[in-house]
Chain A
Amino acid sequence: MANEIEQQVEELGKKIKLLQKNQQKDQISIIAFSGDLDKMLAAMIIATGARAMDTEVKMFFTFWGTAMLRDPKKSGKGKNVISKMFGCMLPKGSTKLKLSKLNLCGMGTTMLKGLMKKKGVPSLEELINIAGELGVEINVCEMSMDLMGFKREEMIDYPNLRYVGVGSYLADADESRIQLFI
């Protein structure tokens, strides 16, 4: 009788271990795709807010979102003509991003930034700094870098910036309780 119970307890223990291993973590995965100022702001506010709640955050910057991570003070060497063109046409960093709606040739963007300053909302640049301090993990899509002709040396200095493929994103997202496409 005691033997049976012992066995059952052992089996239960194994099942619990397996369940714990496969459980989703207190983690949020965010794909930063759009590269629009308003959307990137939302992404960074969610990311820093999540860290405040002790939730792990893994961001995956891809396509137009990659442009947000360019450092306006740096440049990449050895680009071909198409890459140089892309480099000119795409925003050079977070300060150059535009609103997805009501950009009004830049007026809307300027007005929003002014409003944010007036109301004490942190700017996108401040949020990126805060994110770095709080340990928001930023992964950059290697393929997007390649397509848009961005070089690693022209990206901002962000703690532990990694260059990965979609497999990494998917593996991370699989563990996360929340996934967002921004």
Chain B
Amino acid sequence: MTTEELNNLTADLVIDARGTACPGPLLAAKKAIGEIESGEIMEILSADEGTKHDIPRWCDKIGHEYLGFTDLDSYTRLFLKKA
């Protein structure tokens, strides 16, 4: 998805993992995914560089649809759609 499309998305659940470093954001995503329904959108906020690589791979492995990320000043917003 383009940055504009991502910015226009309203996530069904936002996980703020900015205070934690690897493996924090990945674990937070895994823990929270159970709280949304299939087809819903989850947004993860992370200040950890590794997360940009971790989340797409995680989505790939589990079967969720990775939608993309947008970079802000001090953190990144990552979006995925639950399988």
Contacts and interface: CB of A to CB of B under 8 A. Distances in A.
Are A and B interaction partners? yes
Interface of A: 45, 48-49, 51-54, 119-122, 130, 134
Nearest to A53: B61
A54 B61 contact: yes
Contacts of A119: 21
Contacts of B61: 53-54
A120 B27 contact: no
Given A53-B61, A130-B27, 11 more contacts: A48-B23, A49-B26, A51-B30, A52-B23, A52-B58, A53-B57, A53-B62, A54-B61, A54-B62, A122-B20, A134-B27
Contacts of B54: 49
Contacts of A49: 22-23, 26-27, 54
B20 to A, nearest CB: 5
B24 interface: yes
Contacts of B24: 120-122
A61 B23 CA distance: 21
Interface in B35-82: 54, 57-58, 61-62
Interface of B: 19-24, 26-27, 29-30, 54, 57-58, 61-62
Contacts of B30: 51-52, 134
Report which residue of A48, A51, A53 has the largest number of chain B beta carbons within 10 angstroms of its beta carbon.
A53
Contacts of B20: 120-122
Contacts of A45: 22-23
A52 B21 contact: no
A53 B21 CA distance: 17
Residue among A52, A54, A122, A130 with most chain B CB within 10 A: A52
A165 to B, nearest CB: 31
B18 to A, nearest CB: 8
Contacts of B58: 52-53
B29 A52 contact: yes
A48 B24 CA distance: 10
A113 B58 CA distance: 28
A122 B20 CA distance: 7
Contacts of A121: 20-22, 24
A52 B23 CA distance: 9
Nearest to B28: A52
